[in-house]
Amino acid sequence: MEQKTVIITNELVKKYVSIDDVIEQVENTWKWYGEGKVIMPPKITTDMSSAGVNGWFNSMPSYIGPIDSAGIKVVGGYSDNPKKGLPFIRSNLLLTNPHDGFLRALICGDWISDARTGAQPAVAMKYLAAKSDIITVIGAGRQAFYAVTCISRLHKIKELRICDISKEARERFASYFPDADFDIVPYESNEEACRESDVIITLTTANAVLVEEPWCKPGSLVLTMGSFQEVSDDIARKFDKIYLDHIAQGMHRGQFLPMAERGEITADDFAAELPEIVAGKKPGRQNPEERLMCELVGMGSPDVCIATLAYERVTKAGEAVTTVDMLGE
């Protein structure tokens, strides 16, 4: 019988799990979710701003059938953190035995969350992008670093255009990739960057229209990933197909929330949930000319899957970790 809860730090996670593992687990979890093998209710947000606390956190539970693991990701965004030199996003994970509720592990979820966020556009592009020659990323922050890291492992990029409201952030971005075999070019104008781009990714903390529909060429793919609206409603209205990773979540937050509140968009307007495409149940891109948009709201199940891998590897290796008897017996 399991008796001790294991505490796993961010550094230990990074020692036992690679970026390539994360990319693989994101795709696996999406496939399993599309096959109906993952139980994952929509995430719940606790927004503390009306009580004067500058932050919110999401509770994201899931059970993953193929690996028989259950857990919850608790992830938040804390607006004062950047001023304190801390990351905006912080995450923690609990893993439990799905059959008796025993708390198996408490795991720092910071790297897992950042890496899986970056893996999402890389995997989505496999199914939805016509080309990856020119990619524009708007928002040169932490999640953008992981997105470009993961995309460059799966896709051949010629030019990466980086935009940010902060000149310093966009001009610094190339220095994070000293070995890049593609050009990283800062753009002050979102419009100039987006025109001719094969893929446009928004990953900002803004609640603003950063991309207009006429800037998106035939064959383009727009991926929105920030927590609020980032691109024009006309992209949803005029593109050939729109997708979400999780439709129920996407109706209550992020890019589509304003349209959903005005009754301008419903679940029926989406061609598919991305996991259905990964599971082979619905088609992804069908021709190189169609313009596609997908919001990647973010699911907690990939994090639970990656945390389970970390837990299994750390315990199997016999690492000297802190353990706790939660009953104190």
Give the binding site for ligand NAD (CB under 6 A): 77, 82, 88-89, 117, 138-144, 163-166, 169, 203-206, 208, 210, 225-227, 296-298
- Residue among 205 and 315 whose Cβ is closer to ligand NAD: 205
- The rounded distance, in Å, linking the Cα atoms of 20 and 271 is 29
- Distance from chain centroid for Cα 161: 20
Contact 42, 246 (CB under 8 A): yes
- Confirm if 222 and 242 have CB atoms less than 8 A apart: no
Nearer to ligand NAD, 165 or 321 (CB): 165
| Residue number, 147 or 314, with CB nearest to ligand NAD | 147
Q: What is the DSSP string of 99-129?
A: TT--EEEEEE-HHHHHHHHHHHHHHHHHHH-
Nearest distance in Å: CB 27, ligand NAD: 15
Alpha-carbon separation of residue 133 from 6, 160, 195, 216, 221 (angstroms)? 44, 8, 13, 15, 12
Q: How far is the CB of 220 from ligand NAD (least distance, A)?
A: 19
Closer residue to ligand NAD in complex, CB, 163/272:
163
What minimum distance in Å lies between the beta carbon of 322 and ligand NAD? 27
Query: How far apart are CB 203 and ligand NAD at their closest, in Å?
Result: 5
Residue nearest to ligand NAD (CB): 141
Least distance (Å) between residue 151 CB and ligand NAD: 15
Closest to ligand NAD by CB, 148 or 265: 148
Query: For ligand NAD, which is the closer residue by CB, 142 or 291?
Result: 142
Q: How far apart are the C-alpha atoms of 291 and 239, rounded to whole Å? A: 5
Task: Give the span between the Cα atoms of 245 and 14, in whole angstroms.
Answer: 26
In angstroms, what is the minimal distance from the CB of 56 to ligand NAD? 9
Nearest CB to ligand NAD, comparing residues 83 and 99: 83
HEC string of 35-104 equals CCCEECCCCEEEECHHHCCCEEEEEEEEEEHHHCEEEEEEEEEECCCHHHCCCCEEEEEEEECCCCCCEE
Q: Minimum Å distance from CB 201 to ligand NAD?
A: 10
